């Protein structure tokens, strides 16, 4: 029995080595995140079927007298021979990772292959393997319902592996000619070895995924911290003074060898390696930067030749160039360099993309602020006032907290925050936008608020028009935000906001309704006409929106308020216009 145990440990070692190689392959890790999709399930079936077949082929051959017979690869077994193998390990892990569908199919494939191998009666291996695959998948199907990777723990995997191996032993005891005598010989080693193998297999997968998630969390944290540090400088615009400070901050907070910021034709700042010839105030000297500005796309170089610096002793070997955008135009680039090309990994590339998006938003915010100082138009001032710094800091805090629990959701919220501020800033320059643009703005706001206050409110939308209809920017966003902030007081659930967009004659009806506690009748007549102080705000957003609607379309489009103790609706009718495709 000891000899059998040692041989089985060797076989488990083969499977574990293959598992270690597999989890370090990025496409396989991607499958784990997409395992609810049928295309991913099919690929998992193929992968784990190969694991199960390898387990069959590398099993330990046992003769009719329960003697271990050495053999490298098992293909055709004599009729009275049996196999002790690690097949159940592969089937169990397949079920845990892919669910009952993957586990069952892998079990059937493994069972069929075991029958083809020959030996003492093998038809029951098909049934037992399918039952084991289904059971392991069915028991842990709930682990697939989360938004992020969530498997059972390796410690739990030991007991699952043990239970599945016991099922296999029961089938052998009842249906194999060798029956109980064979089970007495192989049960102990197979149960122990396969249970330990399940633990190690799941540990490898879990460790690899945890490392990846930790790297993403660190990356998201770095982006947030840099965003906080660089915001005061980028708000002053893209100039030599702000660029120098920003480059120094980025170099200090990352492991890049050099950081450079440019306009579309000139170096504004360069700190770190290569600063002896990449000089501020000089024209750009790398072809890579020029191509990024011309195409507006991210550029990555892994060699000096790709960077295209004309200086022969330039130490920079790898670079990622991110175009910086202001109002849909490339205003410059952020360039991040390494003196060792091997240090440029996918993590650094993703970090650069995140920073580029945030910095572009910060520059747009700075441009909008500059414009508001130069242009005295009251309309632009009122729109600029919609950018709420308190909301920004609350959102940053929410993302920072979420980063510790779910780095993927933190990344998504970071993109929504970028969308929210971009929509605010783009609205400053537009009189009308399409409904789909306004919906993106509203959805970005709702995503951030619903993360801060989960389950506090629901938003139902009834859109009966094309998403190309035109309306003033912020119309929906202001009404929805007003309902969420003011309607529900301290009520923590059962809160509902309904959005209705519908044609009505030659008008477009826009209505936002809530089931809150209503508005004080003394204040109702003042809403939209003047600022109304409350515990949650001053009412200037509604006032600004109403003034814009009246200024654009006349008094017929002014906000109409209808409020009772069971809820409030705010409605406006504007001319029905349909815009072009985006």
Q: What is the mean pLDDT of residues 566-582?
A: 85
pLDDT above 80 for 430: no
| 151-208 residue pLDDT tens | 678 888 888 888 888 888 888 888 877 778 888 888 888 888 888 888 888 888 888 7
Name the token pair of 519.
């508005």
- Predicted TM-score (pTM) above 0.75: no
How many angstroms separate the CA atoms of 2 and 92, rounded?
A: 24
533 contacts 539 by C-beta, under 8 angstroms? yes
pLDDT for position 383 = 47
pLDDT for position 272 = 92
Residue 360's closest CA among 335, 397, 320, 331? 331
Instruction: Evaluate whether 2-215 and 236-365 have a shared fold.
Output: no
The domain over range 2-215 is classified in CATH as 3.40.1170.20: no
Greatest C-alpha distance within the chain: 99
Residue 489's closest CA among 528, 516, 519? 516
Q: What is the mean pLDDT of residues 538-544?
A: 74
Residues 108, 114, 116, 122: what is their CA dihedral angle, to the nearest 10 degrees?
A: -90
Q: What is the mean pLDDT of residues 336-343?
A: 86
pLDDT above 90 for 508: yes
Pairing of strands 457-463, 495-504: parallel
Query: CA 103, 109, 110 angle in degrees (round to 5)?
Result: 85
Burial of 572 (0-12, 13-18, 19+ CB in 10 A): buried
CATH code of the domain occupying 236-365: 3.30.450.40
pLDDT above 90 for 462: yes
| 363-411 residue pLDDT tens | 777 766 655 554 344 444 444 444 566 667 777 888 877 777 777 888 8
Bigger pLDDT: 521 or 511? 511
Reduced to 3 states (helix: H, G, I; strand: E, B; else coil), residue 542 is: helix
Burial of 146 (0-12, 13-18, 19+ CB in 10 A): exposed
pLDDT above 50 for 145: no
pLDDT for position 216 = 67
pLDDT for position 389 = 63
> What are the residue boundaries of the structural domains of the chain, listed by start?
2-215, 236-365, 416-575
Reduced to 3 states (helix: H, G, I; strand: E, B; else coil), residue 464 is: coil
How many angstroms separate the CA atoms of 463 and 499, rounded?
A: 8
pLDDT for position 120 = 60
Mean pLDDT of the residues in the chain: 81
337 contacts 258 by C-beta, under 8 angstroms? yes
Q: What is the mean pLDDT of residues 34-53?
A: 86
How many angstroms separate the CA atoms of 323 and 143, rounded?
A: 40
| 72-108 residue pLDDT tens | 677 777 777 888 888 888 898 888 888 889 989 999 9
The domain over range 416-575 is classified in CATH as 3.20.20.70: no
pLDDT above 60 for 569: yes
At 312, the pLDDT band (50, 70, 90 cuts) reads confident
pLDDT for position 124 = 84
pLDDT for position 385 = 46
At 461, the pLDDT band (50, 70, 90 cuts) reads very high
261 contacts 335 by C-beta, under 8 angstroms? yes
pLDDT for position 576 = 93
Reduced to 3 states (helix: H, G, I; strand: E, B; else coil), residue 146 is: coil
Name the token pair of 99.
């669910």
Sequence-distant (≥ 6) Cβ neighbours of residue 13 within 8 angstroms: none
pLDDT for position 456 = 83
């Amino acid at each position: 029995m000891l000899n059998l145990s040692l041989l089985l440990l060797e076989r488990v070692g083969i499977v574990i080595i293959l598992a270690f190689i597999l989890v370090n392959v990025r496409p396989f890790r991607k499958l784990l995140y997409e395992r609810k999709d049928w295309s991913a399930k099919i690929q998992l079936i193929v992968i784990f079927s190969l694991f199960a077949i390898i387990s069959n082929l590398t099993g330990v051959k046992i003769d009719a007298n329960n003697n271990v017979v050495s053999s490298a690869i098992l293909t055709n077994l004599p009729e009275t021979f049996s196999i002790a193998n690690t097949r159940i390990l592969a089937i169990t892990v397949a079920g845990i990772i892919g669910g009952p569908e993957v586990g069952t199919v892998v079990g059937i494939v493994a069972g069929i292959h075991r029958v083809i191998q020959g030996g003492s009666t093998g038809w029951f291996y098909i049934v037992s393997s399918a039952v084991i695959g289904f059971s392991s998948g069915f028991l842990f199907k709930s682990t697939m319902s989360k938004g992020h990777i969530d498997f059972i723990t390796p410690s739990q995997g030991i007991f699952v592996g043990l239970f599945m191996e016991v099922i296999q032993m029961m089938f052998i005891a009842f249906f194999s000619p060798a029956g109980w005598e064979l089970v007495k010989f192989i049960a102990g080693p197979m149960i122990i070895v396969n249970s330990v193998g399940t633990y190690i297999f799941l540990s490898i997968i879990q460790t690899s995924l945890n490392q990846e998630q930790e790297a993403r969390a660190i990356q998201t944290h770095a982006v947030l911290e840099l965003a906080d540090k660089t915001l005061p400088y980028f708000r002053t615009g893209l100039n030599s003074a702000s660029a120098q400070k920003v480059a120094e901050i980025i170099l200090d907070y990352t492991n890049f060898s050099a950081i450079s910021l440019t306009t579309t034709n000139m170096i504004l700042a360069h700190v770190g390696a290569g600063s002896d010839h990449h000089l501020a105030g000089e024209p750009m000297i790398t072809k890579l930067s020029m191509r990024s500005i011309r195409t507006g796309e991210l550029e990555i170089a892994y060699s000096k030749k790709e960077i295209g610096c004309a200086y022969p002793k330039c130490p920079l070997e790898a670079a990622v160039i991110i175009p910086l955008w202001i109002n849909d135009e490339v205003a410059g680039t952020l360039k991040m360099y390494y003196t060792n090309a091997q240090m440029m990994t996918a993590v650094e590339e993703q970090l650069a993309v995140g920073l580029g998006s945030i910095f572009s938003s910060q520059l747009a915010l700075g441009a909008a602020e500059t414009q508001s100082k130069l242009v005295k138009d009251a309309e632009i001032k009122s729109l600029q006032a919609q950018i709420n710094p308190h909301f920004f800091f609350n959102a940053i805090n929410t993302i920072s907290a979420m980063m510790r629990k779910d780095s993927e959701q933190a990344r998504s919220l970071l993109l929504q925050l970028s969308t929210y501020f971009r929509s605010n800033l783009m609205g400053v320059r537009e009189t009308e936008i399409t409904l789909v643009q306004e919906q993106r703005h509203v959805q970005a706001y709702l995503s951030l608020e619903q993360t801060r206050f989960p389950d506090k409110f629901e938003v139902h939308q009834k859109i009966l028009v094309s998403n190309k209809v035109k309306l003033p920017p912020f119309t929906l966003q202001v009404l929805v935000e007003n309902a969420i902030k003011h309607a529900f007081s301290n009520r923590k659930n059962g809160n509902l906001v309904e959005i209705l967009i519908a044609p009505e004659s030659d008008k477009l009806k826009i209505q936002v309704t809530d089931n809150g506690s209503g508005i004080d009748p003394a204040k109702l007549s003042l809403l939209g006409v003047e600022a109304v102080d409350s515990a949650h705000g001053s009412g200037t957003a509604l006032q600004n929106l109403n003034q814009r609607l009246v200024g654009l379309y006349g008094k017929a489009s002014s906000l109409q308020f209808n409020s009772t103790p069971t809820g409030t609706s705010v409605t406006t009718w504007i001319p029905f216009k349909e815009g072009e495709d985006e």
